[in-house]
Amino acid sequence: MTNPHELAAATGGWPERRKEHAPDAGEVSALREAILRRLTYSVGKNPISASEYDWYQAVVYATRDRIVDQWMESAAAAYVHGPKRVYYLSLEFLIGRLLFDALNNLGLTDAMRAATKGLGVDLDRLRTLEPDAALGNGGLGRLAACFMESMATLSIAAHGYGIRYDHGLFRQAIKDGWQQEYPEDWLAFGNPWEFKRPEVNYPIGFGGTVEENTSLDGAVRHTWKPIEFVEAVAYDTPVVGWRATHVNTLRLWSARASEPLLLDAFNAGDYVGAMSGKARAEAISKVLYPSDETPAGQELRLRQEYFFASASLQDLVRRHLKQYQDLRTLPDHVAIQLNDTHPAIAVAELMRILFDQHGIEWEEAWRITNATISYTNHTLLPEALESWPVPLLERLLPRHMQIIYLINALHLDSVRKAGHTDAQFVSSVSVIEEHSGRRVRMGHLAFIGSHKVNGVSALHTELLKQTVFRDFDTLYPERIVNKTNGITFRRWLFEANPGLTRLLADVAGDAIYDDPSALTRIEPYADDKAFQDSLAAIKRQNKVALAKIILERCKVKVDPDALFDVQIKRVHEYKRQLLNILETIALYDAMRAHPHAEWVPCVKIFAGKAAASYHTAKLIIKLANDVARVVNGDPTLRGLLKVVYLPNYNVSLAESIIPAADLSEQISTAGMEASGTGNMKLALNGALTIGTLDGANVEIKERVGDENIFIFGLTTEQVAERRSRGVDMSAEIAASPVLGEVLDAIGSGVFSPDDPARYRGLVDILTHHDHFMVCADFDAYLKRQREVATHWRNRSAWWRSSALNTARMGWFSSDRAIGEYAEDIWQVPVETKA
């Protein structure tokens, strides 16, 4: 490609927009015929009577057909050439809509659009009919989806394993400002992307007893006799990589009762009782993250985790034995990645399969297990580092509890032999927690059962070594490694922001499609006015589109020329939506107090779900909506400030919000966000970040430059020091008149006249129990927000920063992240596309 500086000189600034190429007529005709064939023979409709959803299904089937041939080839190649397979175990896969994702990676988007247009059907309209697959909650599940796509892109033979939830997490509605939860119905009309595999099913046992037997040679063996069985049935979805050179499989398990109906009870008139076993079994795959506030909820969570871990291990062991016949070679041909702590029971289950079922001696079984499994930790939060009561495990998985006891005993023996005899040290690395009711620490089990443990940002990895796994790092100093998260640019740039993608390709060349580092080629144009004007025009188009969604869903009209300030993520106190709300109130008060000042018009955009049982987070959502009601209804503001809370945040909504964002809120308490990937997506699309030195913000700052990001607040070390002095913030509040006025307004009922006491408890937490340092960081955040407004007024400076954010985000590609996993953890060769 021509040097960018030469292009700039030749064109008087930046390259002219290339003309779009019409899709191949033969391809369009073939797709049109495929759609009609599928409409007739798969959907069972003719073009005259077909509904929009019928056309959608026909288009999906026609698209899926293009994937299947390569899927078969990829699967066959894995058996013929025998590459090491990667198995990615994750309780979440937030894959979103798949139609445009597949068409984009197949290179068929324009051809399919032309084909459907020739049939009188609008492809973009059909796109909206596809439900978001309700298979995840937030960043954990979206990361798993990005990683699956990148593994296919890099031609790594991989399977994703998870649960096929009937209703996912929940569908969020906002009623009178409160979050309401309803079941997701994404499977109401079936899922045309998946292939049901009823012949691929495995028995999953629960409860029962363990029998001890002594063989003729004196060896003691144990046989687990479960009292209950549930069948795990496979559903496969093909995952196509970029340019469709390789296709992998996402295999999700659905729970099915081994006896769907107790016929004697049914015939006796006990119709409900006759179905109780079916309901109990199928509850396993009904919803993601059922509330664990009750003992029954805790048991269901554990049943879910064991169900999918056991089915996945049985499946991969079957595949390995079919190809290689010897489980002792498992580490040579298989890499198992545990995505967070949820699948940690896989350590004990793999030992049970090797030791109990296949007769491999304990030491050899442990070597195989440890060499095969690796573990990604995603959080430092205690509640996410799961632990289960010992009595629950003894009752539900009695053989696994025995295996865990033995793993722990041998582990502690090795700790003492290494010279670590201090009781506190030994206790800290024990899998069994003895101090607050005996519990099994699943993070500890995952750590000692893995040959590598990785954090997901440089800061997070260092904190793992210093905090939750400090003593483990002493024992195994080479085990913890860093693998900073990444995002797939195919979804979050090419598909979500086609206008920006075309501009970048015009300037930097087609290399950006295969090599994310090629984005740096736009840096020489960051100061070019014509290029900046094009960036601004594309951003405005995206904002107009988002404004329509806001009007439709929130009944609020917003100005696309205002600064769109966006915070979109799971609602949690450490993510500090509350800090954003406090600053919003301060801005509102300032605008009213100084109506003639030159205020920057601003739209505060919130979206995200709170866990159904997380009452404080749900109260924060209510506060955001109460503030929105007051602000949006105040005529004295003249539309200068608007606040919106978009309900039911999901992947598809993110694809509309992210390209339209001007400012990206990444304001978590320092040291508490493992990485974040929303920060990467927003920066890639040209949003400037306001954030703390937390998670991947640190690495984003290093790459985009200090002048192109707005960092504020306490550092991780300063947060720890402040907490050591207590978390009462009365002094900080007294020293900040603005903060004091904001808290007084909230606590006195200004935003809740129907219930003036609604937020007094929240204000009391902020005043006397501010563990998340909201008050401690408020003034620094407020100051940085005013600097954002100043930067926004300087349009050339703003768009320069926006361009450089996009140009310097190439390192955050999930292809880079997966390449590092493959080389450093899995020892798997990678096929690069550049």
- In angstroms, the CA 679 to CA 619 distance is 25
Sign of CA dihedral 816, 821, 824, 826: negative
- Whether residue 483 contacts residue 775, with contact meaning beta carbons closer than 8 Å, is answered with no
Nearest to 707 by CA among 780, 599, 790, 602: 790
Catalogue the active-site residues.
378, 569-570, 575, 677, 681
Q: What CA–CA distance (Å, rounded) separates 695 from 691?
A: 10
Query: What is the per-residue DSSP string for 619-671?
Result: HHHHHHHHHHHHHHT-GGGTTSEEEEEESS--HHHHHHHGGG-SEEEE-PPTT
Strand (E) or helix (H) holding 237: strand 228-240
Closest CA to 89 of 284, 330, 341: 341
Helix, coil or strand: residue 689: strand
Count of C-beta atoms within a 10 Å radius of residue 362: 14
Q: Which amino acid is at 286?
A: K
What six digits make up the tokens of 556? 């609020």
d(CA 76, CA 71): 9
d(CA 719, CA 318): 49
Alpha carbons within 13 A on the beta-carbon side of 292: 15
Decide: 509 and 6 in contact? Cβ < 8 Å: no
C-alpha–C-alpha distance, residues 774 and 577, integer Å: 10
Residues 6+ apart with CB under 8 A from 78: 85, 157
Q: Which two tokens stand for residue 475?
A: 């024992």
How far apart, in whole angstroms, are the C-alpha atoms of residue 751 and residue 508? 49
Q: List phi, psi (to 5°) of 818.
A: -65, -35
Task: Identify any residues that bridge with 665 across adjacent strands, giving them in sequence order.
Answer: 690
* Element holding 182 (H helix, E strand): strand 178-182
Yes or no: say if 374 and 336 are a contact pair by the CB < 8 Å rule: yes
Instruction: Give the residue from 670, 135, 612 showing the smallest Cα distance to 380.
Output: 670
Sorted by sequence, the CB contacts under 8 Å of residue 263 that are 6+ apart come out as 274
Q: Long-range contacts of range 56-59, CB-CB < 8 Å, 24 or more positions apart?
A: 56/99, 56/126, 56/129, 56/130, 57/192, 59/35, 59/99, 59/112, 59/116, 59/121, 59/123, 59/126
Provide the greatest CA pair distance for the chain.
Answer: 94
- Cβ atoms within 10 Å, residue 74: 21
Rounded distance, CA 698 to CA 671, Å?
Answer: 11
Which residues lie below 8 Å from residue 26, measured CB to CB, with a gap of 6+? none
Q: How far apart are CA 531 and CA 503, in angstroms?
A: 9
SS3 (DSSP) at 804: helix
Neighbouring residues of 464: CB distance < 8 A, sequence distance ≥ 6: 377, 380, 453, 455, 473, 480
Query: What is the rounded distance in angstroms from the CA atom of residue 535 to the CA atom of residue 802?
Result: 9
Q: Is 331 helix (H, G, I), strand (E, B) or coil?
A: helix
Q: What backbone torsions phi and psi does residue 619 show, to the nearest 5 degrees?
A: -70, -35
